[in-house]
């Protein structure tokens, strides 16, 4: 299964949490566009976009800032991503596990992006909703990173903590749960949503990993075939989100990251009805709205993270996207 639908098992435990807060789970589900039956049946297919909306609505209804993070405590990656887990569990190492998760996440869903970016001595395992999926993503981001950390700890000592955990949004007032789950090194108002993992952890052998089985699963899932044209824009978007704070995201840079000639990349994007420019514009628009709403960064800082050399250029783009000025948008922040 892949595309805009996800299995309703991601909602497991939600009804009980909402009911414990004195609210009606079915009412929250209906408001989010999810059938109430999905709160009981873990095998229904529901809109990934509606799930993101549900997490935000539930947090608001229950008045629980950490609702998504609380939901992640008992969630397991294997249950959430289904068949893709068969491939991941046969990786040789934690590093290959992360690489496979990022490379093949689109088999699970197209409403979000997973990235894995190596650096000097560490790597970033990131998660973000795709552009245009949700106006507010604090709850679903913290849920996803919480699920990732659960999985990583299952392959290491229980006391392992990441080098740092990065969030694009602002910090909550109470950080006790975040520190308990992610450790002491928390980075809010950052340029990504990601877990920073040390090389020693990444080089650990995966428990139960089997190269032969992995090759068989790759063949079974037909992952060695060319990437479908419809998935190319999603992959490009993931790369743009990762590179944007550090590079201009030119066709040459993006094609290099994808391992494709520039002309091949351009041809595939054209066949999908998209262009690198339109994808970059959509990412900037999406991130600008979320930074303004959920972070404490200044407009100048946001402009820099989005690749603008001047605040004036960013201001013009923002007005074009939203029909209002940066100042008005910040004043209306909830």
Could you tell me if 111 and 127 are in contact, meaning their C-beta atoms sit under 8 angstroms apart?
Answer: no
CATH superfamily of the domain spanning 227-334:
Homeodomain-like (1.10.10.60)
Question: Which token pair is 157?
Answer: 């000592």
- Rounded CA separation 307/303 (Å): 6
Residue 224's pLDDT is 45
Q: CA-CA distance, 316 to 42, in Å (whole number)? A: 45
pLDDT at residue number 142: 98
Per-residue b/e over 263-286, b at no fewer than 16 CB within 10 Å? eebbebbeebebebeebbbbbbbb
| Confidence (pLDDT) at 14 | 97
Return the domain boundaries, the chain.
5-75, 80-202, 227-334
d(CA 258, CA 4): 23
What pTM value is reported for the model? Answer: 0.80
Structure tokens at 180: 């308990």
Segments of the chain scoring below 70 in pLDDT: 1-3, 207-230, 333-334
Predicted local confidence at residue 249, as pLDDT: 87
- CB crowding 38-77: b at 16 or more within 10 Å, else e: bbeeeebebbbbbbbbbbbbbbebbebbbbbbbbbeebeb
pLDDT digits (tens, 9 = 90+) for 64-107: 999 999 999 999 898 888 778 878 888 889 999 999 999 888 87
């Amino acid at each position: 299964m892949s595309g805009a639908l996800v299995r309703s098992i991601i909602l497991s435990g939600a009804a009980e949490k909402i009911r414990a807060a004195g609210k009606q789970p079915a009412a929250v589900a209906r408001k989010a566009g999810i059938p109430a039956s999905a709160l009981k049946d873990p095998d229904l297919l529901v809109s990934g976009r509606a799930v993101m909306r549900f997490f935000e609505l539930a947090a608001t209804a229950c008045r629980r800032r950490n609702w998504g993070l609380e939901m992640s405590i008992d969630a397991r990656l294997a249950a959430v991503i289904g068949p893709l887990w068969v491939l991941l569990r046969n990786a040789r190492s934690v590093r290959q596990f992360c690489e496979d998760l990022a490379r093949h996440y689109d088999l699970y869903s197209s409403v979000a992006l997973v990235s894995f970016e190596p650096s000097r001595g560490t790597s970033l395992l990131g998660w973000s909703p795709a552009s245009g999926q949700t106006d507010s993503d604090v709850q679903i981001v913290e849920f996803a990173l919480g699920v990732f950390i659960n999985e990583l700890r299952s392959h290491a000592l229980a006391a392992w903590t990441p080098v740092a955990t990065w969030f694009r949004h602002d910090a909550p007032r109470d950080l006790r749960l975040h520190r308990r789950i992610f450790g002491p090194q928390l980075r809010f108002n950052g340029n990504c949503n990601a877990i920073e993992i040390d090389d020693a952890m990444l080089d650990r052998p995966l428990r139960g990993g089997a190269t032969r089985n992995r090759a068989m699963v790759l063949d079974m899932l037909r992952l060695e075939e060319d990437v479908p044209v419809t998935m190319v824009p999603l992959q490009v978007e993931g790369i743009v989100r990762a590179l944007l704070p550090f590079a201009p995201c030119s066709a040459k840079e993006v094609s290099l990251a994808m391992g494709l000639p520039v002309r091949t990349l351009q041809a595939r994007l054209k066949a999908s009805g998209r262009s690198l420019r339109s994808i970059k514009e959509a990412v900037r628009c999406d991130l600008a709205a979320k930074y303004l709403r959920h972070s404490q960064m200044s407009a100048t800082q946001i402009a820099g993270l989005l690749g603008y050399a001047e605040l004036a250029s960013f201001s013009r783009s923002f007005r074009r996207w939203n029909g209002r000025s940066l100042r008005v948008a910040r004043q209306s922040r909830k």
